[in-house]
Amino acid sequence: MKLKVTVDGTAYDVDVEVEEEPAPTLGSFVISSGGGAPAPLPASSGAAPAGGNALPAPISGTVTKVVTEAGATVEAGAVLLVLEAMKMETEITAPAAGTVAEILVGPGDAVSGGQALLTWA
């Protein structure tokens, strides 16, 4: 590639070699309509990944609100907690009817995608 560069009023023709960088790739993410339990994602931090009876975080973010409590019986689609990422709130809903065994996060906690948020009884 040829460029014209002017330094202190003097024009110079410069040959420049440009190396193309590979396009960045996106990490894994889950989009769910609440029709079933999403598959657990690998945790990118030291946080424990979701197990078979755990509800994984679909995105990384900060817990802003916990709507349910341990021992609560919930219907499919019920809001369990709210995550905030990039100034947008995402409601985390129950993928199926069941009983919440334990809540593993609280308001203000930072979570990574795939991290267990709560467990089912």
For residue 15, is it within any domain? no
Which DSSP string corresponds to 27-59?
A: -------SSSPPPPPPPSSSSPBP-TTEEEPSS
For residue 102, is it within any domain? yes
Domain count, the chain: 1
CB atoms under 10 Å from CB of 58, counted, come to 19
Alpha carbon 91 to its chain centroid, in Å, reads 12
Q: Give CA–CA dist 113/59, Å, rounded.
A: 4
Q: What is the mean pLDDT of the chain?
A: 82
Report the CATH number at residue 110.
Answer: 2.40.50.100
Expressed as residue numbers, the domain containing 52 is: 37-120
- Residue 37's pLDDT band, with cuts at 50, 70 and 90, is low
For residue 1, is it within any domain? no
For residue 26, is it within any domain? no
Which of 1-5, 34-38, 49-53, 101-105 has the lowest average pLDDT? Answer: 34-38
In 34-103, which ranges are continuous DSSP H helix?
Answer: none
pLDDT: is 27 or 118 the higher one?
118
pLDDT: is 86 or 22 the higher one?
86
Q: Give CA–CA dist 46/120, Å, rounded.
A: 22
For residue 87, is it within any domain? yes
Asked whether 47 and 35 are in contact (CB, 8 A), the reply is no
Mean of pLDDT values over 100-120: 94
For residue 100, is it within any domain? yes
Q: Give CA–CA dist 43/101, Å, rounded.
A: 21
For residue 111, is it within any domain? yes
For residue 62, is it within any domain? yes
